[in-house]
Structure 1
Amino acid sequence: MRPVTDLSSLGWGRSDEPPCGVVLARVARIDRGRLTVLTAEGERRVVPGRALHESELGGPAVGDWVVLRGELATEILPRKSAFVRTVAGRTSAAQVVAANVDVVLVVDAMTGDARLRRVERYLAVAWSSGATPVVVLTKADLCADVAAAVAAVREDAIGVEVLPVSSVTGEGLDAVRALLGPGRTAAMVGPSGVGKSSLANALAGRTVAGTHEIREDGRGRHTTTARELHVLPGGGLLVDTPGMRELALYDDEDGIETAYADVAELAQDCRFRDCGHRGEPGCAVAAAIEDGRLDPARFTAWRKLQAEAHRQRLRVDARARAEERARLRSFHRALKDQPNRPRAERAR
Structure 2
Amino acid sequence: MDLSLTEDQELIAATARELLESKAATAGARALDGDPAGYSAPLWKEMVELGWTGLAFPEEHGGVGGDFLDVCLLFEQLGYAQVPSPLLASVACCGMPVARFGTSAQKERWLNAISDGQIVTAAPLPWDRPGEGPVASRSDSGYVLDGTATFVPFAASAEHILLVARLDGEPHAFWVDAADVTLKPLGTVGHDRPCHAELDGLWVPGDAALGPDAAAAISLFGAAATCAEMVGAAQRVLDMTVQYATEREQFGRAVGSFQAVQHHCANMAIDVLGSRFTAYEAIWLLSVNREAAQQVSMAKAWVSEAYERVCALGHQVHGAIGFTQEHDLHLFSEHALSASLAFGDADLHLDTLADTLDLP
Larger relative strand fraction: 1
Same fold by TM-score greater than 0.5: no
Q: TM-score range by the shorter chain?
A: under 0.3
Q: TM-score, normalised by structure 1?
A: 0.26
Kindly name which structure, 1 or 2, has the bigger radius of gyration based on alpha carbons.
1
